[in-house]
């Protein structure tokens, strides 16, 4: 297995699980490889199609998971994913592509796996373009849309909560921005399960608890013994342009296809405890 973006937050968890499951694992990084024994590392920039093809030639993977993040950078998130899909099509291996709920505007609030993207942000547009390229270029590929990824204190969301409470970062947590957070362990497990299957098309891997970013921050603060009152609330609708507000991934079709149980944020952050 080759995990593109293996040095990232999600990529590392996928690699840990893949190695534990007996996969011979290779991975790419951009700035620094992760400290994971028994993984073969390649430096690769998705903006360099020659290098992407070269890594596939060397690693000769049976399956590729694209967990790379390029935010709103079109050259990485859209064009890079297209180049990777083309290289995978030439190599004839399996492709599992990680996408985002940001492909949706929020106008419909609830989005099933067969909903068509209607992005309202640069990031969402780049992720939507990548999805199309992957599905058309590699018809057997799986596209896995997910939501806010949390877990082990290592996510950007958990780190932001700690920095806001410590006063080392300024900013707000939105109260009008609803998503369905997922635990990184559950997501990594779903990705591995889908990779090991022949499932194609679109999957939704998100938790069952919709909540706004401020609520999520409060749960993280409580779990970590921090004072939630130090988390400043704010409105995404005050930002110009605001991007998607209330976006909830419906997971019914995915839950019928995978064994992994996707926990809600109230459960994995301990808010369900009596």
Ligand X SMILES: NC(=O)c1ccc[n+]([C@@H]2O[C@H](COP(=O)([O-])OP(=O)(O)OC[C@H]3O[C@@H](n4cnc5c(N)ncnc54)[C@H](OP(=O)(O)O)[C@@H]3O)[C@@H](O)[C@H]2O)c1
Which residues are near ligand X by CB under 6 A?
Answer: 5, 7-11, 29-32, 44-47, 67-70, 76, 80, 98, 100, 146-149, 156
Among candidate residues 130, 194, 25, the one with its CA nearest the CA of residue 119 = 130
Among candidate residues 157, 218, 215, the one with its CA nearest the CA of residue 183 = 157
Cβ-based nearer residue to ligand X, 61 or 70 = 70
Cβ-based nearer residue to ligand X, 48 or 229 = 48
Among candidate residues 92, 67, 112, the one with its CA nearest the CA of residue 202 = 112
- Closest separation in Å from C-beta 190 to ligand X: 12
Cβ-based nearer residue to ligand X, 38 or 225 = 38
- Closest separation in Å from C-beta 168 to ligand X: 20
- Closest separation in Å from C-beta 175 to ligand X: 18
Closest chain position to ligand X (CB):
8
Given a contact cutoff of 8 angstroms between Cβ atoms, the answer to whether 138 and 129 are in contact is no
Tokens at residue 136, please?
């058309």
Residue 111 has phi, psi (to 5 degrees) of: -130, 120
- Closest separation in Å from C-beta 14 to ligand X: 9
Place of tokens 């949706």: 104
Which helix (H) or strand (E) segment is 202 a member of? strand 201-205
- Closest separation in Å from C-beta 248 to ligand X: 13
Cβ-based nearer residue to ligand X, 121 or 175 = 121
Exposure string of 139-170, with b = 16+ CB inside 10 Å and e = fewer, is eebbbbbbbbbbbeeebebbebbeebbeeeee
Cβ-based nearer residue to ligand X, 189 or 229 = 189
Place of tokens 């939704």: 204
CA 230 to chain centroid, in Å, comes to 28
Cβ-based nearer residue to ligand X, 6 or 273 = 6
- Closest separation in Å from C-beta 3 to ligand X: 9
């Amino acid at each position: 297995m080759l995990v593109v973006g293996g040095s990232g937050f999600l990529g590392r968890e996928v690699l840990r699980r893949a190695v534990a499951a007996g996969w011979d694992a290779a991975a790419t990084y951009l700035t620094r490889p992760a400290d994971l024994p028994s993984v073969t590392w390649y430096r690769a920039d998705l903006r360099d199609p020659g290098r992407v093809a070269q890594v596939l030639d060397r690693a000769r993977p049976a399956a590729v998971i694209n967990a790379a993040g390029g935010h709103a950078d079109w050259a990485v998130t859209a064009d890079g994913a297209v180049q990777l899909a083309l290289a995978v099509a030439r190599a004839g291996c399996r492709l599992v592509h990680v996408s985002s709920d940001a492909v949706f505007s929020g106008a419909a609030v609830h989005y099933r796996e067969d909903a068509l993207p209607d992005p309202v942000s640069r990031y969402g547009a780049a992720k939507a373009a990548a999805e199309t390229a992957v599905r058309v270029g590699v018809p057997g590929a799986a596209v896995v849309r997910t939501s806010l990824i949390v877990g082990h204190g290592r996510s950007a969301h958990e780190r932001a909560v700690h920095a806001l409470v410590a006063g080392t970062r300024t900013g707000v947590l939105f109260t009008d921005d609803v998503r369905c957070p997922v635990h990184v362990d559950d997501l990594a497990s779903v990705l591995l399960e889908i990779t090991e299957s022949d499932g194609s098309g679109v999957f939704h891997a998100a938790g069952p608890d919709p909540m706004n970013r401020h609520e999520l921050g409060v749960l993280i603060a409580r779990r970590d013994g921090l004072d939630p009152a130090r988390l400043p609330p704010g409105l995404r609708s005050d930002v110009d342009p605001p991007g998607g507000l209330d976006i909830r991934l419906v997971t019914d079709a995915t839950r019928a296809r995978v064994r992994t149980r996707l926990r809600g944020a109230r459960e994995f952050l301990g808010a369900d405890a009596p």
